[in-house]
A and B are shown apart, each in its own frame.
Chain A
Amino acid sequence: MKDIHSEEKTYKFGMVIDLDKCTGCGACMVACMAENNVSFRADETDKLRSITWMRVYKMTNGLPFPDTEVCYIPRPCMHCEGSGHHRPAPCIAVCPATATDRDHETGIVSQVYTRCFGCRYCMAACPYHARYFNWWDPKWPKGMEKYLNPDVSPRMRGVVEKCSFCYHRFQRAKNKAYAEGRREIREDEYQTACAQACPAGAITFGDLNNPQHAVYKLKNSPNAFRILEKLGTNPKVYYLSTKEWVRRGVDHYLEEEAQD
Chain B
Amino acid sequence: MDSALIPEGVKRCSFKKFAIWIGVLTIPTLWGIYAALLCWGKALNQTNLNDNFPFGFWIVADLGVIALGAGAFFTGFLRYILKIEELKNIVNFAVVIGVICYASALGILGIDVGQPLRAWFIFWHANVHSMLTEVAFCITCYFIVLCIEYLPLVLENRRIDAYRFFHFLSHRFHQAMPAIAAIGVFLSFFHQGSLGGVPGVLYGRPFAYRSGFLVWPWTFFLFILSAIACGPCFTLLITWITEKITRKQLVKKSVKETLAKIAGWLLASYIVLKIIDTIYWASSMAPRVGINFKSFYANQPYGIWVLITEIGILGIIPAIILITKQGRSNSALLILASFLNCAGIFMNRWIMTVQTLAVPVMPFDKFASYHPNWQEWATTLLPVWIGAMVISLSYRYLPVFPQERELNPA
Contact = CB atoms under 8 A, between A and B. Distances in A.
Interface of A: 46, 48-50, 57-59, 73, 86-88, 90, 93-99, 115-121, 123-129, 131-137, 157-160, 227-228, 230-233, 249-255, 257
B363 A87 contact: no
Given A57-B364, A119-B113, A252-B289, A133 B44 contact: yes
Given A157-B114, A159-B115, A230-B290, A132 B51 contact: yes
Contact of B119 (A117, A131, A228, A251): A117
Contacts of B119: 117
B116 to A, nearest CB: 8
24 contacts: A48-B52, A49-B50, A58-B364, A73-B364, A93-B201, A97-B122, A115-B118, A118-B118, A119-B114, A119-B122, A124-B205, A125-B205, A127-B205, A129-B362, A131-B51, A157-B114, A158-B44, A230-B288, A230-B290, A231-B203, A251-B290, A252-B295, A254-B292, A257-B290
Contacts of A49: 45, 50-51
B52 A97 contact: no
B356 interface: yes
Interface of A is mostly: loop
A117 B113 contact: yes
Given A59-B364, A158-B114, A250-B363, A97 B126 contact: yes
Contacts of A228: 204, 361-362
A108 to B, nearest CB: 18
A134 B114 contact: yes
Interface residues of B, number: 51
A125 B364 contact: no
Nearest to B137: A96
B306 interface: no
Interface of B: 43-45, 50-55, 112-116, 118-119, 121-122, 124-127, 129-133, 136, 198, 201-206, 215, 287-292, 295, 356-357, 361-365, 368
Chain B interface main SS type: loop
B328 to A, nearest CB: 38
A135 B55 contact: no
Contact of B45 (A58, A136, A252): A136
